[in-house]
């Protein structure tokens, strides 16, 4: 379907199938926000991948790790 340029729809609900990513401008999942605040108190090292750290809240993550 991708090669044909067609939108794939879910057979159960009929809505368009979306990749398991967050697009720019979309709200981050609540789990991310909870985890972000846990980083500050529970980790010694945080590896951040897949971002240029140009936008919030991702650009705040390195500052949260002691």
The model's pLDDT over 9-64, given as tens digits with 9 standing for 90+, comes to 999 999 999 888 888 888 888 888 888 888 777 888 888 888 888 888 888 888 88
Contact, 65 vs 45, CB < 8 A?
yes
Beta-bridge partners for 9 = 16
For the chain, the domain total comes to 1
Q: Is residue 16 part of a domain?
A: no
Q: Is residue 25 part of a domain?
A: no
pLDDT at 19: 82
Q: Which domain holds residue 36?
A: 30-64
In the chain, DSSP assigns E strands to none
Q: Is residue 18 part of a domain?
A: no
pTM (predicted TM-score): 0.51
């Amino acid at each position: 379907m991708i090669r044909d340029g067609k939108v794939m729809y879910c057979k159960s609900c009929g809505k368009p199938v979306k990749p398991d990513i967050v697009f720019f401008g979309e709200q981050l999942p609540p789990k991310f926000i909870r985890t972000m605040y846990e980083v500050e108190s529970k980790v010694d090292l945080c590896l951040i991948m897949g971002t240029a750290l140009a936008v919030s809240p991702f650009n705040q993550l390195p500052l949260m790790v002691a």
